[in-house]
Structure 1
Amino acid sequence: MSGPIPIRNVYVMLAYAFSTIQSSGQDHFEAEKFEHLHELFAAILIDGVSQQVKRGLQHGYVNRNEELATVRGRIDVTRTATQRTLTRGRLVCEHDEYEPDTVHNRALKAVMTLLIRHGAVSRSRRVELRNFLPYFTEVRLIDPAAIQWNTLTYHRGISGYRLLLGVCELVARGLLQGQASGDAMLSAWLTDEKMHKLYERFLLNYFKVHHPELKPAASKIPWDKDEARSPKDKHLPAMNTDLVLRAAGRTLIVDAKYYGNNLQVNRFGKETVISENLYQILSYVRNEETRSGSTVGGWLLNARTGAPSQPDLDVTIHGNRILANTLDLNLPWEKLRAQLENIVTEFWPAPVTAP
């Protein structure tokens, strides 16, 4: 890429990606200067955990199986007999306890502890993080390497945990990759592949927040195939889009690309848009137009790199407008947002109102 993305923009991308851009701490993070990603992530955790502590940490029912002097829940007859607890006047009971020792709180405590011990964080923020640990006394401290991030689920009651644990995952995976600490190790984990996923989620949720009238979605486009003459189609690849915008009889398919190189060079030295990317967006557009009957366009939106030449394409092929250019993630947020808004005005010059 063209260089490190400004840390303020990293926060904004994370906030959009994890659907928390409207949280109360946004202005604070946009205004403050952070020299390291770990400083930013520590600040997000401090702010978020502070809010969770005020409203109360998440509680859940945790299954317990223990010896008790009185009956509680269900008696485990087998263990009571085999362990001969009756001779001591006790029963083995299985019961549910409503407590804060949940998987979400365990992950939060584990990563706060990891960041305190190994992160590139200022002393003042380490102290703030450490001051939260007494609130997690009843939460078991686990090995962060044992956290199964993809199994964590969220509902409305714990939506505030989404960004916090998204940040925790970045910190944990970065610091657990090796012995080094700080931004160097974290940046090594934030590969182009992972930034590509963050970039896709950021774009989708940006339009969900600011342009719900365009019905933003990461839609699956069906192939315009002849069902009667297509007896073997199970190996046909799915057309999964990054972002589709629809309004006023127009559809725009946006394909997000986060690569080190945005152009290809042929044997004669000519630079062009990467062929497979162009073929892919054309396929999406043609199949969508046949299905929907609306006017469909395609936009290859590359994250800008530091190369001297960048994609700059605006052509009409088979009646479909196809664009390819870049989004400069290194710009100040106000200018970056202006580039995003230009996507809308290019295809919908007149304002679109929600139905």
Structure 2
Amino acid sequence: MSLPSDTRVADVVKLREYETSPRPVALNVAEVSVLRGLPGGRLGLTPSDEPGCYLLQATSWVGAVVLPRLTIQILPKVQDLRTVLTMFTSGAGLVEWGTDGAAYDQSDLVEGVAGLLLRTTNGATRRGLVHGYRAANERLPVIRGRMDVQQLAARPWDSWPVPCRFDDFTADIPENRILLAAVRHVLRWPVGPVLRRMAGELLQRLEGVGDSPVAMTEYDLIRRTPLNQHYQPALTLARLVLEGFGLTQGAGGLTAQTFLVDMNKLFEKWIGDELRARLYPTIEVVEQMAVPLSVSPAVTMNPDLVFLRGTKTVFVADVKYKLTGGGLGRTSDYYQLLAYTTALRLRRGMLIYCRADLAPDRVITVVGGNQRLHTHPMDLSGSPEVVAEALDALAESIRKLT
């Protein structure tokens, strides 16, 4: 059976979250192996009635999968790319968007994130790279620091060049190695000439910084200091880029480049960061705090957000990215929130949803316990300014309930 012309060659397939491709896509054996090898069910494949053709099912993971013959773009449901990129910058306090919304409409998520990273890295490093001291052991023709007595004692016949131990003041430190790794990742993508030129300039600026095979591990070891404070937004974005970018090996030597981000986790982190900034200093927002559910044997839970006044827990909230079509919270979500309010001995709690097709009931009262479980939908369909107002309203609602 010959393939229809619209499925024989598919250079770019665009899907939105949880969407299934409207037509089957022709894939060879190697491509199927690569896509099925994506971890964690990031993309679903279902064989169609057409031999060698598959329906693609997107999940909550957005971004792109680039094969030599095919690019699969998974777009967020949020229409304004500026709002999605704002989620990436949550807690970092950066990015002022221009007024040209059309420029964002013409960009995809991957290029948007790449541009955001490069601009932020350029801003952090344009006045010079942060330097630090690094312990070094080298053999030198003149003594620097102190002689390595242990080496001299072990090999007294090998005394020149002199083994020395010293602290080297260098730009080759974890902060710069992480930025370098992220910029190199961006250059592997088919980004536009402006971004490629910016990435090339940053590579020249980072010349002398070594490559790190364990950039993510180094990130976790960095301590924030006054010296690297201005690096923090760029490092935060670099971590997201390093987590999202990856290479997937497939059959027949085929390699796919991927950049995929879980909107569930991104939305949860963004809500937590934004509420923390708005409720500080009267209310502290703690994410994923361990809460005991039972006495013995010990069973713990981790609510998305716990709100504290001083040392007293005053409120709890669970963040859900996807809402049921009818606009109501899922029954299981109410069960989960009820468990949190009961274990924390609270009279109120809140489910924060991304958006609703229909307005859900704002509060239900639990039979028997009389806990009041509130529901607050966050509509992300407007401009970043409108979304910021919605976040203000959410914070004010929580402040009144506590």
TM-score tier (shorter): 0.7 to 0.9
For 1:320, the equivalent position in structure 2 comes to 371
Alpha-carbon spacing, 1:273–1:44, altered in 2? closer, same or farther (3 Å): closer
Tell me the distance in 2 between the aligned counterparts of 1:146 and 1:346.
40
Give 1:148 shift: 2.5
Give 1:101 shift: 0.2
Alpha-carbon spacing, 1:33–1:347, altered in 2? closer, same or farther (3 Å): same
Instruction: Within 5 Å, give how 1:1-355 maps onto structure 2.
Output: 1=17, 4=76, 5=78, 6-16=80-90, 19-21=91-93, 23=94, 25-28=95-98, 33-34=103-104, 35-80=107-152, 81-82=154-155, 84-86=157-159, 89-116=160-187, 118-143=188-213, 147-148=216-217, 151-157=220-226, 158-178=228-248, 179-181=255-257, 185-186=258-259, 189-191=260-262, 195-218=263-286, 220=289, 223=292, 230=295, 232-233=296-297, 235-244=298-307, 251-259=314-322, 262-263=323-324, 273-289=329-345, 296-304=347-355, 311-317=360-366, 318-348=369-399
Letter in 1 for 2:177: R
Alpha-carbon spacing, 1:338–1:303, altered in 2? closer, same or farther (3 Å): same
Tell me the distance in 2 between the aligned counterparts of 1:119 and 1:207.
34
Instruction: Kindly provide the CA deviation profile for residues 323-343 of structure 1, in whole angstroms up to 9, marking residues without a partner as x.
Output: 234323343223323332332
Instruction: Kindly provide the CA deviation profile for residues 64-97 of structure 1, in whole angstroms up to 9, marking residues without a partner as x.
Output: 11111222223223434438432xx421112110
Q: Is the contact made by 1:200 and 1:242 (CA closer than 8 Å) also made in structure 2?
A: no
Instruction: Kindly provide the CA deviation profile for residues 292-335 of structure 1, in whole angstroms up to 9, marking residues without a partner as x.
Output: xxxx4211112237xx6675452123443212343233432233
Alpha-carbon spacing, 1:347–1:206, altered in 2? closer, same or farther (3 Å): closer
Alpha-carbon spacing, 1:96–1:278, altered in 2? closer, same or farther (3 Å): same
Instruction: Kindly provide the CA deviation profile for residues 188-230 of structure 1, in whole angstroms up to 9, marking residues without a partner as x.
Output: x213xxx3332222112212222325413116475587xxxx5
Q: Is the contact made by 1:104 and 1:152 (CA closer than 8 Å) also made in structure 2?
A: no
Secondary structure at the counterpart of residue 138 of structure 2 = strand
Give 1:289 shift: 3.7
Q: Is the contact made by 1:221 and 1:287 (CA closer than 8 Å) also made in structure 2?
A: no
Q: Is the contact made by 1:76 and 1:94 (CA closer than 8 Å) also made in structure 2?
A: yes
Tell me the distance in 2 between the aligned counterparts of 1:339 and 1:311.
16
Q: Is the contact made by 2:140 and 2:161 (CA closer than 8 Å) also made in structure 1?
A: yes
Give 1:13 shift: 1.2
Sequence identity, in percent? 21
5+ unaligned residues in a row in structure 1: which ranges? 265-269, 291-295
Tell me the distance in 2 between the aligned counterparts of 1:49 and 1:204.
24
Alpha-carbon spacing, 1:97–1:91, altered in 2? closer, same or farther (3 Å): same
5+ unaligned residues in a row in structure 2: which ranges? 1-16, 19-74, 249-254
Q: Is the contact made by 2:147 and 2:162 (CA closer than 8 Å) also made in structure 1?
A: yes
| Larger RCO, structures 1/2 (Cα 8 Å, 6+ apart) | 1
Q: Is the contact made by 2:87 and 2:270 (CA closer than 8 Å) also made in structure 1?
A: yes
Give 1:29 shift: 9.2
Tell me the distance in 2 between the aligned counterparts of 1:239 and 1:174.
24
Total equivalences in the alignment: 314
Q: Is the contact made by 2:174 and 2:219 (CA closer than 8 Å) also made in structure 1?
A: no
TM-score (norm 2): 0.66
Tell me the distance in 1 between the aligned counterparts of 2:88 and 2:215.
24
Alpha-carbon spacing, 1:202–1:83, altered in 2? closer, same or farther (3 Å): farther
Give 1:37 shift: 2.5
Alpha-carbon spacing, 1:41–1:346, altered in 2? closer, same or farther (3 Å): closer
Secondary structure at the counterpart of residue 43 of structure 1 = helix
The structure where strand makes up a greater share of residues is: 2
Secondary structure at the counterpart of residue 344 of structure 2 = helix
Q: Is the contact made by 1:263 and 1:311 (CA closer than 8 Å) also made in structure 2?
A: no
Tell me the distance in 1 between the aligned counterparts of 2:243 and 2:156.
42
Tell me the distance in 1 between the aligned counterparts of 2:269 and 2:180.
26
Q: Is the contact made by 1:245 and 1:253 (CA closer than 8 Å) also made in structure 2?
A: no
Q: Is the contact made by 1:72 and 1:94 (CA closer than 8 Å) also made in structure 2?
A: yes
Alpha-carbon spacing, 1:206–1:67, altered in 2? closer, same or farther (3 Å): same
TM-score (norm 1): 0.74
Tell me the distance in 2 between the aligned counterparts of 1:250 and 1:297.
11
The structure where helix makes up a greater share of residues is: 1
